[in-house]
Amino acid sequence: MQSYSRSFQDPRRAGRYGEKFRKGLFRRWTHLKEAANLRAALEEVSALGEMDLVCDVPCGAGRWAGLLKGVGRSYLGLDLSLPMLRICREREGLGGRTAQASAWALPLPDRGADLTACIRLLHHVREEEEKGALLGELCRVTARALLVTFLDGRSPKQRLHRGKARILGRPLRRPSWTRGALEEAARVGGFTLVRYWALSPWFSGQTLALFRREARS
Ligand SMILES: C[S@@+](CC[C@H](N)C(=O)[O-])C[C@H]1O[C@@H](n2cnc3c(N)ncnc32)[C@H](O)[C@@H]1O
């Protein structure tokens, strides 16, 4: 994980990521479908009532800042990479705050954000312990609703990927997680599943999950 995180400290890598979803038909389709899934999830979030602070971690180049700002009174974009934060601020203007932070040590008090979104980070985390710690930290700072994306290990695409890696004796390119393991980590943090939205089970396995805080927790 450390080398992945470090790679975004390079302004050229950050710049490339900033353009990634604007190039090529498949990438643009991916972005549009992810946006549709996020919009659908945010409709469910709105049904939970008005949100105050929305935390977007990692905010990257601010791909989701516009949509997330739409559901809360204020927006906070957090990322470990200063070059990514710079791109996010340039693109998004002054419509919210941004700060450098690790997703494993968020600069927020317990339940400091009404909604937290963690999009496209978990599928880079290999160690089970690190995955659990990330979910724990996201749950800690979240008062009401949590959005997380992950690679669904049971999706046809990820099953095929694992089978191929086993036969060829290659390491897995991206670590997946099961829905059960994600739900259990969220349950420990006081959250219960609302719904999943898959990007494309056959071509990706990338899945968005919405959790809400359990009334008793
Ligand atoms: C794949 S991008 C996703 C960005 C954005 N959520 C999106 O969907 O476009 C991953 C981001 O994670 C950030 N990152 C990597 N390690 C991190 C860490 N330990 N804490 C916070 N952000 C991290 C990178 O700087 C990068 O901006």
Query: Tens digits of per-residue pLDDT, 158-191?
Result: 888 888 888 988 877 778 899 999 999 999 999 9
CA of 147 to the centre of ligand 1 (A): 15
CATH superfamily of 2-213: Vaccinia Virus protein VP39 (3.40.50.150)
Q: Above pLDDT 90, what percent of the chain?
A: 69
Query: Given this model, what pLDDT does residue 94 score?
Result: 56
pLDDT in the model for residue 141: 98
Distance 8 CA to ligand 1 centre (A): 8
The answer on pLDDT for 207 being more than 70 is yes
Instruction: State the average pLDDT over residues 2-27.
Output: 85
Among 80, 100, 147, 174, the mutation site with the greatest number of ligand 1 atoms within 8 A of its Cβ is 80
pLDDT of residue 122: 95
155-160 average pLDDT score: 84
The pLDDT of residue 53 is above 80? yes
Report residues whose beta carbon is within 6 angstroms of any ligand 1 atom.
Answer: 5, 8, 58, 60, 63, 79-81, 84, 102-103, 119-121
Q: How far is the CA of 118 from the centre of ligand 1 (A)?
A: 9
CB 59 within 8 A of CB 65: yes
Kindly report the pTM of this predicted structure. 0.93
Domains of the chain by residue range? 2-213
Q: What is the pLDDT of residue 101?
A: 97
Cα(216) to centroid(ligand 1), Å: 32
* Averaged pLDDT, 25-29: 89
pLDDT at residue 17 in the model: 81
Q: Which residue has the higher pLDDT, 156 or 87?
A: 87
Contacts of residue 60, Cβ cutoff 8 Å, sequence gap at least 6:
17, 18, 79, 84, 88, 120
